[in-house]
Amino acid sequence: MNTTTSIKKINVYLLPIAAFFILISTAVTNLFLILTVFTAFLICIKNNNFDEIYKKDFFFKICFLIFLLFVISSFYTIAEPSEILSTLKKYVKIIYIPFVFFYLKTYRNEKLVINFFIYGTTLILFLSYIKFLNTFFFENFYESVKFLNISGIKQNIIVTKSTVFQNYIIQGIVFSFYSFLCFFMATKKHSLLLYFLSFLAFFNVIFMNDSRTAYIIIFILFIFSFFKIINTTKIRILFVSFLVLISVLGFSSNSQISNNFEYRINMINSNLENIQEGNYNNSLGMRYMWFKIGLDNFMNEPILGYGIGSFYKSTEDYFKNNNIINFYTDKNNNSEPISENNLLTNNPHSEIISISSQLGIIGLLTFSIFLYLILFNYAGPMSFATFIIVFVSSLFNSVFYDNMIGLFIIIIISLFYKNKAKI
């Protein structure tokens, strides 16, 4: 009996630990999320609760169906075996959702998961400001913790001004959700600390981060907060004043924040000019080319797609058939032709493009139902915020192919689908 009780006490902390490490370590989050799923699976076997997983809710059936379509497509895909296996490992995460939802129903530790998420994200938020303001030499820190393999620290993380462990896209998306969560909780608890944390995260996303996906998400959630969460004119005036204050601070002359914002605007203009010249070796250029390839794939194989893991091969074929040469631009803005290998990928940075290319209209309709059910089961502001995170991220990122975004989305869907977690 004591052993059983001890195991239950340990299991209660599996998902909270996964939530704590979202912006710290992909490996730790992945490990504890897998342990969460495994725990739920064992409980289902012990109590014969599998009906709770796949019969009680149509949404969970859709999760299994999407993964099943990927498995079926492995029989006709144009991808290499290694790419099939790699992609299956990416998309298996989607069937975590019913099990994590069942885990939360069993242990009823939603508040603990939310608190641990706030603790971990708050830690990274403050470290982000410390790094951006150059008050700590992070390069030495990264060198000293390389052996821990915290989250696969790469050069693009080290040189990005405000990201700490994860890349700017993941950090921006998580901070956007965190800002909204803290604001919503602050309105319920009348907590100045939560308002302050929400402000710091909002400011970080708008002026210190480079993620366009995060900008869109936080803008939508900002508008939603103004009209749906704030219900008095006085608070709305304070809310607008808050926005004005942020703008004044952000655009103050000669500040690092102002310089960072100006740099991002100039980078977008430069990307657009490069695209017009046929140079796709930049963020916008790559996404533009992947969209064209995805559209071409969909037109050629509209019903079933090219199969799981096929985007790499279809991209390779597209370049050959259209005789496209990519360019490299050096620091002096001089362009010269290079291999198109940096555009060859199975991750087109859009779940819509990815699924439509691999599974055709059948997969796209199934994924659309997946998104619709998240919105259709709206039961409060947090469930709406979850839908916005999933929908916008799916437009501009391959959410389940990207490991960390996928893990984060699994956790928040499981928490707030049907507004399971009460705040």
User: Residue 245: inside a domain, yes or no?
Assistant: no
Q: Is the pLDDT of residue 112 over 90?
A: yes
Please tell me which residue, 55 or 133, carries the higher pLDDT value.
133
| Cross-strand pairs, 327 | 337
Q: What percent of the chain has pLDDT over 90?
A: 33
Q: Is the pLDDT of residue 211 over 90?
A: no
User: Residue 8: inside a domain, yes or no?
Assistant: no
Most confident of 17-21, 249-253, 380-384: 17-21
- Which of 104-108, 150-154, 351-355 has the lowest average pLDDT? 150-154
Q: What is the rounded CA–CA span in Å between residue 35 and residue 306?
A: 33
Closest CA to 394 of 260, 228, 213: 213
pTM of the model: 0.85
pLDDT, average across residues 75-101: 91
User: Residue 5: inside a domain, yes or no?
Assistant: no
- On whether the CB atoms of residues 205 and 178 are closer than 8 A, the answer is no
pLDDT score recorded for residue 225: 83
User: Residue 323: inside a domain, yes or no?
Assistant: yes
Alpha helices in 190-224 (DSSP H): 192-203, 212-224
- 148: confidence class by pLDDT, cuts 50, 70, 90: low
pLDDT score recorded for residue 331: 44
- On whether the CB atoms of residues 185 and 197 are closer than 8 A, the answer is no
| 123-136 per-position pLDDT tens digit | 999 988 888 877 77
User: Residue 115: inside a domain, yes or no?
Assistant: no
Q: Is the pLDDT of residue 186 over 70?
A: yes
Mean pLDDT across the chain, nearest whole number? 81
Q: Is the pLDDT of residue 81 over 70?
A: yes
- Which of 87-96, 222-231, 256-265 has the lowest average pLDDT? 256-265
Q: Is the pLDDT of residue 178 over 80?
A: yes
Question: Residue 305: left if φ>0, alpha if ψ -120 to 50, beta else—which one?
Answer: left
pLDDT score recorded for residue 227: 79
User: Residue 296: inside a domain, yes or no?
Assistant: yes
Q: Is the pLDDT of residue 93 over 70?
A: yes
Q: What percent of the chain has pLDDT over 70?
A: 75
Q: Is the pLDDT of residue 166 over 60?
A: yes
User: Residue 83: inside a domain, yes or no?
Assistant: no
Burial class of residue 241 in the structure, from the number of CB atoms within 10 Å of its CB (0-12 exposed, 13-18 middle, 19+ buried): exposed
pLDDT score recorded for residue 358: 93
- In whole angstroms, how far apart are CA 42 and each of 53, 57, 103? 12, 20, 10
Q: Is the pLDDT of residue 90 over 60?
A: yes
Q: At 125, which helix (H) or strand (E)?
A: helix 110-132
Question: Residue 190: left if φ>0, alpha if ψ -120 to 50, beta else—which one?
Answer: left
Q: Is the pLDDT of residue 396 over 90?
A: no
pLDDT, average across residues 236-253: 66
By residue range, what is the domain housing residue 347?
259-351
pLDDT score recorded for residue 271: 66
User: Residue 307: inside a domain, yes or no?
Assistant: yes
- On whether the CB atoms of residues 307 and 73 are closer than 8 A, the answer is yes
- On whether the CB atoms of residues 100 and 15 are closer than 8 A, the answer is yes
Q: At 66, which helix (H) or strand (E)?
A: helix 58-73
| 311-346 per-position pLDDT tens digit | 888 888 888 887 766 554 444 455 444 445 567 888
Report how far Cα 164 is from the mean position of its chain's Cα atoms: 16
Q: Is the pLDDT of residue 388 over 90?
A: yes
Closest CA to 157 of 178, 128, 197: 128
The residues, any chain, with a CB within 8 Å of residue 108's CB and separated by 6 or more, are none
Tally of domains within the chain: 1
pLDDT score recorded for residue 338: 47
pLDDT, average across residues 195-224: 88
Q: Is the pLDDT of residue 258 over 60?
A: no
| 267-313 per-position pLDDT tens digit | 666 666 666 666 667 777 788 888 889 999 999 989 999 999 988 88
- Which of 41-45, 166-170, 340-344 has the lowest average pLDDT? 340-344
pLDDT, average across residues 183-189: 88
- Extract the tokens encoding 202: 């909002």
